Amino acid sequence: MPHNEIKPLGVPEMGAVRFDMLGEALRRGAADMRRAPGYAMIFAGVYVVIGLALAGITLATGKTYWLIFAAVGFPLVGPFAAVGLYEVSHRLSEGRALVASEVFGVIAHQRRRQLPSICAIIIMVFLFWFFLAHMIFALFMGLSTMTNVSTSLQVYFTPEGLGMLAVGTAVGAVFALLLYSLTVVSLPLLLDREVDFVTAMLTSLQVVTENPLPMLVWGALVAALTFLAMLPAFLGLFFVLPLLGHATWHLYKLICEAGAAEAET
């Protein structure tokens, strides 16, 4: 599909999310990985290279604030990499050739559509989270004996440190849930249809709130697999990120198919 092709207007009908859709989305995602392994390596490689580079800088300099740059930068890269995986799955499902210039052309074309706006929202949420994280750190550790947390982990096992981790984890989980709810459906929707980013995010939030159990299970699965994939020097991301990217596209399409079927009855 040429990147300037007119897309359907508006939000499609969104159906109920069933647990069997999650497994089906993963099966279809794995099949897409096998059919287009080169694209999987390219898009996942973006994450792996950036992650390794920032981890290397952190270890070499002892400056843990580089990790903040990593956390802020990944959401910027993520949606564009995800769009590439969505486009590959889209073409495979329609039996179209995976022409590299067209696939990457679709990604480049997103900078003139709604995707940069949703990236800006993601970054603002992240920046607000870092502000709160500093407040939480100051609240629990402000009166403690100064410890270099980059060289000593003992500070985390003090009562203040454990309290900071507990509260920080809880608040971070709320922000992670918010970002997940706003983007899990909106990102593939923006690629698939001509719709503004606010409507796309509200649609995504509505899908999650109307189908809390399966969508929370999907979110937990995404978070757990991504965390585990980062442990072996980020190398697990070569498998996990393409799998989840392709699978998220298929979950979105399954929800749309369910909505169309419900509308006919």
Q: Comparing C-alpha atoms, which of 119, 121, 111 is closest to residue 75?
A: 119
Q: Comparing C-alpha atoms, which of 101, 256, 246 is closest to residue 193?
A: 256
Instruction: Assess contact for 161 and 137: CB atoms under 8 A.
Output: no
Instruction: Assess contact for 229 and 47: CB atoms under 8 A.
Output: no
Q: Which amino acid is at 15?
A: G
Instruction: Assess contact for 245 and 86: CB atoms under 8 A.
Output: yes
Per-residue pLDDT tens over the stretch 84-139 = 899 899 999 988 888 888 888 777 777 777 777 887 887 788 778 778 877 887 78
CB atoms within 10 A of CB 261: 11
**What is d(CA 191, CA 168) in angstroms, rounded to the nearest whole number?**
34
**What is d(CA 162, CA 64) in angstroms, rounded to the nearest whole number?**
19
Element at 131 (helix H, strand E): helix 115-141
Instruction: Assess contact for 46 and 54: CB atoms under 8 A.
Output: no
**What is d(CA 179, CA 215) in angstroms, rounded to the nearest whole number?**
13
Query: What percent of the chain lies above the pLDDT cut of 70?
Result: 82
DSSP assignments along 247-259, one per residue: HHHHHHHHHHHHH
User: Which range among 28-32, 119-123, 152-156, 226-230 shows the weakest confidence by mean pLDDT?
Assistant: 152-156
**What is d(CA 24, CA 167) in angstroms, rounded to the nearest whole number?**
36
CB atoms within 10 A of CB 129: 20
Torsion of CA 49, 100, 88, 216, to 10 degrees: 30
Q: Mention every residue, 6+ apart, whose C-beta is less than 8 A from residue 257.
A: 15
Helix axes 212-230, 237-264, angle to 10 degrees: 170
Residue 1 has pLDDT above 50, yes or no: no
Per-residue pLDDT tens over the stretch 212-260 = 999 999 999 988 888 888 777 778 888 988 999 999 999 999 999 999 9
Element at 96 (helix H, strand E): none
**What is d(CA 247, CA 128) in angstroms, rounded to the nearest whole number?**
30
User: Which range among 63-72, 74-83, 85-94 shows the weakest confidence by mean pLDDT?
Assistant: 63-72
**What is d(CA 119, CA 124) in angstroms, rounded to the nearest whole number?**
9
User: Which range among 36-50, 86-100, 102-116, 160-174 shows the weakest confidence by mean pLDDT?
Assistant: 102-116
Two tokens, residue 203: 């649609």
Q: What is the pTM of this model?
A: 0.81
